[in-house]
């Protein structure tokens, strides 16, 4: 009888262990941070454009929680945007087609050129001085941080298409994506 009770008790304990097995906390030494492993590309993949603006520091990024938003926008000829210091940001812009004019920025901004991105030893981004003007074409890009105001517009005769990746404070943009900048008249 005792032998049966012992067997039954062991069976109950083992059954409970199996049922609860996944919920018991496991204690062990923390593993070291794994070494980064580069991705493996297969097939024909072509990097059409890229813009490397370097590393952003904590002063440039909004406080958490923040949202990462990617836009693809088209500007009709004559369309533009004026941004003011304090606008949500930062935003990285990459021109897909057309010509974009940058002007009247209140501080220096970083600009990348497509020709420098095509070489493995690409130069660092160039600096567009405050108040200066330049034009960007396909493959060119610029970085806009929230402390800087200025204007960018399509002064060309063809539509301008660009991608914008922005990191914004939670709730800074409306659901339609508006609110990151003020449209021009």
**Residue among 139, 40, 64, 143 at smallest CA distance from 98:** 139
CB atoms within 10 A of CB 78: 11
Q: What pLDDT sits at residue 158? A: 96
**Residue among 86, 90, 116, 112 at smallest CA distance from 100:** 112
Q: Categorize the per-residue pLDDT at 160 as very low, low, confident or very high, splitting at 50, 70 and 90.
A: very high
Q: What pLDDT sits at residue 16? A: 36
The residues pairing with 165 across neighbouring beta strands, listed in sequence order, are 70, 92
Would you say 149 and 105 are in contact if contact means Cβ atoms under 8 Å apart? yes
More confident residue, 160 or 36: 160
Q: Which residue ranges form the domains of the chain, and what is each CATH number? A: 66-183 (2.60.120.10)
Q: Categorize the per-residue pLDDT at 32 as very low, low, confident or very high, splitting at 50, 70 and 90.
A: confident
CA distance 64 to 166: 14
**Residue among 115, 93, 113, 110 at smallest CA distance from 161:** 93
Q: What pLDDT sits at residue 22? A: 45
Alpha helices in 122-181 (DSSP H): none
More confident residue, 29 or 151: 151
Q: What pLDDT sits at residue 176? A: 52
Which helix or strand (DSSP H or E) is residue 114 part of?
A: helix 114-117
Phi, psi of 12 (to 5 degrees): -65, -45
Which helix or strand (DSSP H or E) is residue 167 part of?
A: strand 160-169
Residue 73 has pLDDT above 90, yes or no: yes
Residue 185 has pLDDT above 60, yes or no: no
Tell me which of 1-10, 80-89, 145-154 is least confident.
1-10
| Mean local confidence (pLDDT), 65-82 | 91
More confident residue, 54 or 149: 149
pLDDT tens readout for residues 161-178: 999 998 888 877 654 545
């Amino acid at each position: 009888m005792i032998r049966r009770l012992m067997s039954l008790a062991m069976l109950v304990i083992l059954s409970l262990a199996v049922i609860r097995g996944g919920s018991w906390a496991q204690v062990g030494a923390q593993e070291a941070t794994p070494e980064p492993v580069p991705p493996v590309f297969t097939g024909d993949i072509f990097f059409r454009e890229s813009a490397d603006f370097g590393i952003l520091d904590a002063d440039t990024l909004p406080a958490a929680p923040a949202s990462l938003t990617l836009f693809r926008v088209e500007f009709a000829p004559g369309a533009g945007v004026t941004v003011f210091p304090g606008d949500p940001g930062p935003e990285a812009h990459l021109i897909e087609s057309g010509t974009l004019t940058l002007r009247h920025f209140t501080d220096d901004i970083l600009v990348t050129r497509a020709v420098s991105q095509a070489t493995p030893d690409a130069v660092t981004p160039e600096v567009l001085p405050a108040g200066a003007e330049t034009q960007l074409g396909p493959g060119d890009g610029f970085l806009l941080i929230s402390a800087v105001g200025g204007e960018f517009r399509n002064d060309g005769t063809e539509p301008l298409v660009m991608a914008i990746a922005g990191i914004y404070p939670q709730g800074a943009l409306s659901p339609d994506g508006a609110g990151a900048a003020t449209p021009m008249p």
